[in-house]
Amino acid sequence: MLKFAITSISAACLLMSCTEQTTPTTNGAEEVFAAVQADPVLDFSNRADFDAADRGFIATLEGEITDANGTPVYAPAAYDFLKADAPATVNPSLWRQSQLNAKHGLFEVVDGIYQVRGFDLSNMTLIKGDKGWIIVDPLITKETAAAALALANKHLGERPVVAVILTHSHIDHYGGIRGIASPEDIASGKVEIIAPAGFTRETVAENILAGNQMARRAGYMFGPFLPKGPEGHIGSGLGQGISTGNSGLIPPTHEITLTGETLNIDGVEMVFQMTPGAEAPEEFMFYMPQFKAFCQAEEINHTQHNLLTPRGAQIRNGLKWSKHIDDTIQMFGDKIEVSFGSHHWPTWGNADVLDFYEKQRDTYRYIHDQTLRLANHGMTMVEIAEQIELPKSLASEFYNRGYYGTTNFNSKAQYQYYYGWFDGNPAHLNPLEPVAEAKKMVEYMGGSTAVLDKAQQDYQDGEYRFVATALNYVIFAEPENKTAKTLLAKAYTRLGYQSESGPWRDFYLTGAQELTTPLLKDVIINTSNPDMIANLPLDLFFDLMAVRLNGPKAAGQDMKVNFNFTDTGEQAALHLKHAVLNTRMGQQHEDATATIMLSRTDLNRIILKQTSFPALMKEGTVKVDGSLLKLRKFMSLQDDFDYWFNIVIP
Ligand SMILES: [Zn+2]
C-alpha cells in the first residue's frame, strides 16, 4: 500500500507527497509532436539567474533525508534529471525554472546570512547572531529542517538556535520547527519565536472549513501522485517537491503587529514591515541594517505568484499586494544591497533589487488594473483572461512568468474578487447541472460518435483546449465511454506539456492520470497533525462541526448541547435548530438536551481519530448529563468527508 501524508491545513502550497511513484501518466510518449515553444519574448541566453542560484554554494547533502524509521522524506537529488536539456514534453521556460529551483545545498547570501535551498518546497535561512543562529522559516517537516541545520552547523561551525522567525502562516514556513527547537527550549526562554500577529489562528483558519475540497485539488496542483520526470512532475514553479516527514506547530513567543517595529535579536537589528491580505492573511518582511539585507518572505518571488490559488482559497487583491511592495521600495529601497526570500535564490546589488521589486509590484498592479479596465468596458472574465498580456517590459523578466500563478488565472481572480462568478448574462444565471447539461449538449451535437470524430481531428490539429471542452461533455454524458476518456487524457497530457505553469501542468497530467487509471482510494490520507489540532481555536472547531452538519437530515431537529472542558475550563453552548448549528462560546444552556464533559486533550484525540466519543464514554473519560439517545442522534447528523471525490468524471 502506498504511504501518503497530506495535510490539508494551510499552505500556499498544500502539502502532500507520495513516497512511492504511481503509474506513469502520459499517453503522448508514443506520438511524435513538435517541441513546445517558449514565449519568444524570453531571452534564454541570459544566465544571470543561474549565476545567482549558484552563488555562495558551500556544500550539500549526499543521499536522502529520512525520518526516525529510516523512511525517506525528501531526496534533494530526485530532480537531477533536470540537468539535461528541455525535452519535447516540457515547456522550456518551466524546465529552466525547475533547473534553478532544483539546485540544492547550503549557500552564503552574505557573510553572516546563509540559506539551505532545495531541501523542501521552501528555503530555510540562517542568520548569525552574537551567540547563535536566528532561523527564518524552518521548512515543512522537522526532518528536512533538522538536516538543513545540521548541514549549516557542519560547515559553518556548531551554533545553538536562539530565535526562529516565521514570516507567515503557511506550513512550508513553520512546519519543520520541531527539527530546530524544542518546546522546552522555548518555554525556558532559550529560543524565541517571532511571527506576525494572528499567526497561530491563521495557520488553521485559512483552510479549516474548506479543507477537504482544497486538499483534493491540491493533489492535482502539486502533482504528488505523478511520477517525477520529463513526462510527469517537474516542479511547482515556487519550489520543487514537498517533504513527507512530520510537521508541527509551536505558537510564537513574540508577535509583530506594526510596520516599523524594530527588534534586536541576538545582536541583529530587524525592522519589520507588515503585509496583511496579500500572499497570506498575515505576513511580514524585514530589513537588517547591519547586513543591508532585506527578507522579502513570499511577497516578492522569482515567479508570478497566485492571486487565487487553483487548489482553492480566498482571493488575494493585486492592488494591495502591489502597494505593499511599493511601501518596501519607499521605506528601504535606497538601502538594500541584497534581498532574499523563502523561495528561490537571492538578488544582489541595489539597482537589480529595485528593478526586481518595481517589476514584481507592477505585475500585480497591471493585472489588477487592466482586468478592471476591461471589465468596465463590458468584457467578461474569460474574455479578459484571453486578452490580457503583460507588457514586454514585465513579460520578458523570467521572475514575472506564470510558473506558479499565471496572468490568465490571476486576471480571472481579480474579476472574481470584484464581481463574483456571474457575468451578468442570463444564460449563465441558472444553467442545468453538469451531467444534465452534458447529456443535452451531446444530443444537440449529434451524439458522442460525431463529437469524437471531430475531436480526433481537432486533436491532430493541436486544438487541445476545445477538445478538452467537448470531450468533457461526452464523459459527463457517458462516463463509461473509454474512447472519449483516452482521447481526453491525451489532450490533457498535451496541454500539460505546453504549460509554462507547474501547477497547470500538474492539473492536466493528474486529470489525464485519473481518466485512465483507478483512483488511489487505498492511499491513506492524513490531513492533520497533533500540533495543529492542539492549537485549533475551539470556536473554529465548532464552526467546522456546523459545516459538517447534514442540513437535510437535521431538518426539524431542535437540540441544545453544552460542551464543558474539564482541563481548560472552556465552555460552549450549541443549538441545533432550523438545520443550523449555532455556537456561543463561554456559555451553557440551562435547558440543555445533553451536557458533555471532557478534556481538551481528549477532544484533540477524537479529532485525530485516535479514539472516539463512544469509546471514551465507555471508559468513563467523557461524561454526559442528559439524554444519551438524543446526543447519539445529534452526533449522527455529522457528515464525514471522503478525500477521493470525482473531478474529471461525474
Ligand atoms: Zn511558501
Q: What is the pLDDT of residues 447-466, one digit of tens each?
A: 999 999 999 999 999 999 99
Cα(13) to centroid(ligand 1), Å: 6
12-16, 91-95, 339-343, 532-536: least confident range:
12-16
Give the separation between CA 521 and CA 514, rounded to whole angstroms.
11
Cα(628) to centroid(ligand 1), Å: 46
Rg (CA), the chain: 26
Residue 46 near residue 95 (C-beta atoms within 8 A): no
Give the separation between CA 638 and CA 547, rounded to whole angstroms.
9
Cα(341) to centroid(ligand 1), Å: 9
Cα(125) to centroid(ligand 1), Å: 13
Cα(119) to centroid(ligand 1), Å: 13
Give the separation between CA 172 and CA 236, rounded to whole angstroms.
13
pLDDT at 11 over 80: no
Amino acid at 365: R
State the pLDDT at residue 30. 59
Which pLDDT band holds residue 4 (cuts at 50, 70, 90)?
Answer: very low
Cα(528) to centroid(ligand 1), Å: 18
Which pLDDT band holds residue 206 (cuts at 50, 70, 90)?
Answer: confident
At which residue does the C-alpha cell 530526485 appear? 78
pLDDT at 18 over 50: no
Cα(425) to centroid(ligand 1), Å: 38
Give the separation between CA 538 and CA 600, rounded to whole angstroms.
9
Give the separation between CA 144 and CA 125, rounded to whole angstroms.
13
- Cα 284 to Cα 262, 398, 545, distances in angstroms: 12, 25, 32
Cα(169) to centroid(ligand 1), Å: 9
Cα(238) to centroid(ligand 1), Å: 8
pLDDT at 269 over 80: yes
Amino acid at 276: P
Ramachandran region, residue 406 (left: φ > 0; alpha: ψ -120 to 50; beta: rest): beta
Cα(176) to centroid(ligand 1), Å: 13
Cα(612) to centroid(ligand 1), Å: 34
Identify which of 324, 250, 322, 245 has the alpha carbon closest to the alpha carbon of residue 282. Answer: 324
pLDDT tens per residue, range 471-519:
999 999 999 999 999 999 999 999 999 999 999 999 999 999 999 998 8
Cα end-to-end span (Å), the chain: 26
Cα(280) to centroid(ligand 1), Å: 9
Give the separation between CA 643 and CA 319, rounded to whole angstroms.
35
Cα(239) to centroid(ligand 1), Å: 9
Q: Which three cell numbers stand for residue 458?
A: 481537432
Percent of the chain with pLDDT over 70: 95
Cα(122) to centroid(ligand 1), Å: 6
Cα(11) to centroid(ligand 1), Å: 7
Cα(405) to centroid(ligand 1), Å: 13
Interior angle at CA 432, CA 428 and CA 434, nearest 5: 105
pLDDT tens per residue, range 414-457:
999 999 999 999 999 999 999 999 999 999 999 999 999 999 99
Cα(340) to centroid(ligand 1), Å: 13
State the pLDDT at residue 10. 32
Identify which of 291, 295, 297 has the alpha carbon closest to the alpha carbon of residue 268. Answer: 291
- Measured in whole angstroms, the distance separating CA 255 from the mean position of its chain's CA atoms is 23
Cα(177) to centroid(ligand 1), Å: 15
Cα(533) to centroid(ligand 1), Å: 21
Q: Of 187 and 382, which is predicted with more confidence?
A: 382
Identify which of 153, 112, 107, 150 has the alpha carbon closest to the alpha carbon of residue 130. Answer: 112
pLDDT tens per residue, range 563-621:
999 999 999 999 999 999 999 999 999 999 999 999 999 999 988 889 998 899 899 99
* Residues 234-243: b if buried by 16+ CB within 10 A, e if exposed: bbbbbbbbbb
Cα(182) to centroid(ligand 1), Å: 23
Cα(631) to centroid(ligand 1), Å: 42
DSSP string over 74-87: E-GGGGGGGGSPPP
Identify which of 342, 303, 287 has the alpha carbon closest to the alpha carbon of residue 124. Answer: 342
Give the separation between CA 321 and CA 361, rounded to whole angstroms.
7
Cα(539) to centroid(ligand 1), Å: 27
Identify which of 496, 539, 493, 537 has the alpha carbon closest to the alpha carbon of residue 516. Answer: 493
Residue 218 near residue 8 (C-beta atoms within 8 A): yes
Cα(553) to centroid(ligand 1), Å: 40
Residue 310 near residue 499 (C-beta atoms within 8 A): no
State the pLDDT at residue 261. 98
3-class state of residue 176 by DSSP: coil
Give the separation between CA 53 and CA 107, rounded to whole angstroms.
9
- Residue 488 CB neighbour total at 10 angstroms: 27
Residue 206 near residue 169 (C-beta atoms within 8 A): yes
Continuous H helices in 549-594 = 551-554
Cα(173) to centroid(ligand 1), Å: 6
Cα(221) to centroid(ligand 1), Å: 14
Amino acid at 565: F
Cα(3) to centroid(ligand 1), Å: 24
Identify which of 359, 357, 347 has the alpha carbon closest to the alpha carbon of residue 327. Answer: 357
